[in-house]
Structure 1
Amino acid sequence: MALKVGDKITNFTAKDTHGNDFDSQNFVGQKALVIYFYPKDNTPGCTAQACSFRDQYEDFKDLGAEVIGISSDSENSHEKFASKYKLPFILLSDQDKKIRNLFGVPSGMFGLLPGRVTYVADKSGKIVMIFDSMMATKHIPKALEAIKKLV
């Protein structure tokens, strides 16, 4: 059952780039969130998307939002990806695809690739925008626009 606009983000846990435990309860209900699911570290589209979020990260922070990227890559892969591109935001490893399934992220490209979907949630954890597109760099302005409407 896919999450829809108006739904609350349910609690989930994962490992971050440093192998630390991440608990969504420490973020959901505390601040606005931009949670984006992407197919794979170090691929052209995913790198462009991550670098665009990096370049606008301060704009999200200034508006009181946190950015979280999620893919099925390992913590080690995320650590190298974040280090190589100086990514300041949280990357979570979802190797068992539990979080992807919890959100109901569809597969892209005829089911061949994990989907690329961005969710924006308000401070209470309610989803206010979902953007599903394989056009990697289109996610950042959409997410920023949604966050600005919350402020």
Structure 2
Amino acid sequence: MELKVGDRIPNFVAKDMDGNDFDSQNYVGKKPLVIYFYPKDNTPGCTAQACSFRDQYEDFKDLGAEVIGISSDSIESHHKFAKQHKLPFILLSDNDKKIRKLFGVPSNMFGLLPGRVTYVTDRNGEVKMIFDSMMATKHIPKALEAIKHLVK
């Protein structure tokens, strides 16, 4: 099942890049979320995307939103990736791909690559925008624009 605009994001739990438990229920109902799924830490596109979210992170925070990156990489990989690129937002390890399946994130390139999809939800967890594109840096302005519309 693929999430669509108007759906509520499913509840999920995962480990963050520091090995701490993350529960989506601690965020839904409190703030808008930008949840982005990406293929792999330290690849050119994923690094460009993460660094673009980093560079605009204060803009998202100023609008009251939280940014969360999710891939199937290990906690250790996320920790190194976040430290190396000074990423101020949450990275979650989805090594069993359960969260990816919950959201219905499609694979790209004949199923060889995990998809790159960004979801923007309002504070109540309702999906307001879905952007599916392998063009890594295009996600940030789309997500920021969607958040700006939510907080008007």
Question: Which interval holds the TM-score relative to the shorter structure?
Answer: over 0.9
SS of the aligned residue for 2:113 comes to coil
Deviation for aligned residue 1:10: 1.2
Question: So what's the TM-score if we normalise by structure 2?
Answer: 0.99
SS of the aligned residue for 1:83 comes to helix
Asked if 1:89 is matched to 2:89, the reply is: yes
User: Which residue does the alignment assign to 2:4?
Assistant: 4
The size of the alignment, in residue pairs, is 151
SS of the aligned residue for 1:111 comes to coil
Q: Which residue type is aligned with residue 4 of structure 1? A: K
Deviation for aligned residue 1:39: 0.0
User: Which residue does the alignment assign to 1:46?
Assistant: 46
Q: Which residue type is aligned with residue 62 of structure 2? A: D
- Percent identity between matched residues is 83
Query: Aligned partners of 2:137 and 2:108: how far apart in 1?
Result: 16
Unaligned 5+ runs, structure 1: none
Query: Aligned partners of 1:18 and 1:25: how far apart in 2?
Result: 19
Q: Which residue type is aligned with residue 114 of structure 1? A: P
User: Which residue does the alignment assign to 1:128?
Assistant: 128
Question: So what's the TM-score if we normalise by structure 1?
Answer: 0.99
Query: Aligned partners of 1:94 and 1:29: how far apart in 2?
Result: 23
Instruction: For residues 18-61 of structure 1, give each alpha carbon's deviation from its aligned partner in whole angstroms, at most 9, with x where no partner exists.
Output: 10000000011210000000000000000000000000000000
Q: Which residue type is aligned with residue 126 of structure 1? A: E
Query: After superposition, where does 1:22-37 map in structure 2 within 5 Å?
Result: 22-37=22-37
Instruction: For residues 60-98 of structure 1, give each alpha carbon's deviation from its aligned partner in whole angstroms, at most 9, with x where no partner exists.
Output: 000000000000000000000000000000000000000
Unaligned 5+ runs, structure 2: none
Query: Aligned partners of 2:30 and 2:11: how far apart in 1?
Result: 13
Deviation for aligned residue 1:120: 0.1
Query: Aligned partners of 2:35 and 2:53: how far apart in 1?
Result: 11
Q: Which runs of 4+ in 1 moved over 6 A?
A: none
